Amino acid sequence: MSIFTMDKVKKTFTNGEIKEDILKGINLSLKEGEVTALVGASGSGKSTLLTIAAGLQHASDGQVIFEGENLNAMNQEQIRKIRASKFGFVFQFAHLVPFLTVEEQLMLMLDVSETKLNKQEQKREVNRILKLVEMDHRKNAYPSSLSGGEKQRVAIARAIIHKPKVLFADEPTASLDSKRSKDVMALIRDLTKTLNITTLMVTHDEEMLSYAEHVIKMSDGLIMKK
């Protein structure tokens, strides 16, 4: 079932008298339990598409429909609440808080996302998610003692701890070597299935495309292939 739809989405940036069309009418539908990968050269519009889908910026025109509501018609506070409660984010770098343990990273995310769990329930949920990403044995570790792959696993755990509907991944393996990249992508794919998440990922690495059900190629602000 489609949970996320983009209908004729356009994005135009203006610099003085110069207008640049970054997205030129994007139609896209994302289904639950599937990974969709966006690929294309730098400047093709894939990162702009991801940020608009994630509510990090508004489209210039068109509709971004999530669970029947148009994100493009919402104000910033409405979008903020959806991002905090129903979206998860994984980036190229883990961006972990250096003075928090692995467990504390996830506890903080539960507080930010305003889940209605007491501290004991939060700890149980953190342990459950850390087991899913095979990092429960490192829950008391600080980021400085983690490898690159371990940091990204914690970042993924943090992104899904509040049970989001959609996971946005922006170059999630770009800072990792080949083996760790494959491990992280296998984890993202498996969690997408297990938790029935809708995952939208931007990547330059063609080796990672085998982990996606759908590959969308972008060029010059348009979708070239579905």
Q: Specify the pLDDT at position 196.
A: 94
Q: Characterize the bridge pairing of strands 87-90 and 166-170.
A: parallel
Query: How is the chain classified by DSSP, letter by letter?
Result: -EEEEEEEEEEEEEETTEEEEEEEEEEEEEETT-EEEEE--TTSSHHHHHHHHTTSS--SEEEEEETTEEGGGS-HHHHHHHHHHHEEEE-SS----TTS-HHHHHHHHHHHTT----HHHHHHHHHHHHHHTT-GGGTT--GGGS-HHHHHHHHHHHHHTT--SEEEEESTTTTS-HHHHHHHHHHHHHHHHHTT-EEEEE-S-GGGGGG-SEEEEEETTEEEE-
Identify the pLDDT of residue 194: 92
Backbone φ and ψ of 225, nearest 5°: -150, 140
pLDDT value, residue 119: 86
Q: Which residues make Cβ contacts (< 8 Å) with residue 123, sequence separation at least 6?
A: 103, 107
pTM over 0.85, yes/no:
yes
pLDDT score for 215: 94
Residue 214 tokens read as 């759908």
Q: Which pLDDT score, from 0 to 100, does residue 170 have?
A: 93
CATH number at residue 21: 3.40.50.300
The pLDDT, as a whole number, for residue 1 is 63
Return d(Cα 29, Cα 199) in angstroms, integer: 12
Per-residue model confidence (pLDDT) at position 171? 92
- The tokens for 173 are 């393996």
pLDDT of residue 112: 83
Task: Give average pLDDT by consecutive 10-residue segment, the chain, 226 residues.
Answer: 89 85 93 93 92 93 94 92 92 91 94 82 93 94 95 94 94 89 93 94 91 94 80
- Count of domains in the chain? 1
Structural domain boundaries enclosing 216 = 2-225
Q: In whole angstroms, give the CA distance from residue 164 to residue 146.
A: 25
